[in-house]
Amino acid sequence: MELSSLMFPLLLVLLAVPLFLSARKQKRAVAEQQALLNSLEPGDRVMTTSGLYATVAEVREDDSTIDLEIADGVVTTWLRQAIREKVVADTETDAVVDDVDDDLADETADVEPVQQESKK
């Protein structure tokens, strides 16, 4: 009888612990997102939930909107909640890509074109 009397409380604990942990994780994610939205300043590079990369042009404190510059001189208004994350410019990666392109251009400049013989 002892084993069956412990099954119900054990089952409740096994179900309650994952629910508690997931609720805690979700609450932490919401707090992090809110901190991100509150820390946005003009000039920050961001990505929206739809995958658009833009630069923050203006942040309105009294409104729930934000102006994003998606190209030079093109400013659009978005809901603040549409911002997914800040994007950090990775200049090291850009430099590596540029170096590879320059090296390839140098190598191809030294190669002489091959003429094909005409078949008759």
Best CA proximity match to 60, nearest among 73, 34, 47, 79: 79
Q: Which tokens go with 77?
A: 């208004």
The residues that bridge with 85 in the sheet, in sequence order, are 47
Q: How far are the Cα atoms of 3, 13, 15 from residue 9, in angstroms, in the given order?
A: 11, 6, 10
Over residues 12-26, the mean pLDDT reads 89
18 contacts 11 by C-beta, under 8 angstroms: no
Claim: this prediction has a pTM higher than 0.75: no
Asked if residue 2 is part of any domain, the answer here is: yes
**52-56, 98-102, 115-119: lowest mean pLDDT where?**
98-102
Q: How confident is the model at residue 11 (pLDDT cuts 50, 70, 90)?
A: confident
d(CA 57, CA 69): 6
Question: Is the domain of 45 the same as that of 104?
Answer: yes
Give the mean model confidence (pLDDT) for residues 43-63: 92
Contacts of 82 (CB under 8 A, 6+ apart): 48, 49, 50
The predicted pLDDT at position 98 comes to 42
Least confident stretch, 28-37, 55-64, 111-120: 111-120
Structure tokens at 4: 């069956």
* Statement to judge: residues 70 and 81 lie in one domain: yes
Q: Give pLDDT tens digits for 22-45.
A: 999 999 999 999 999 999 999 999
Q: Say yes or no: 96 and 60 in one domain.
A: yes
Residue ranges of alpha helices (H) inside 39-109 are 91-109
Does 52 lie in the same domain as 100? yes
Question: Structural domain of residue 6, as residue ranges?
Answer: 1-39
Domain total for the chain?
2
* 93 shares a domain with 72: yes
The per-residue pLDDT for range 87-108, each reduced to its tens digit, is 986 655 544 444 444 555 555 5
Q: Do 50 and 103 fall into the same domain?
A: yes
- Judge whether 113 lies within some domain: no
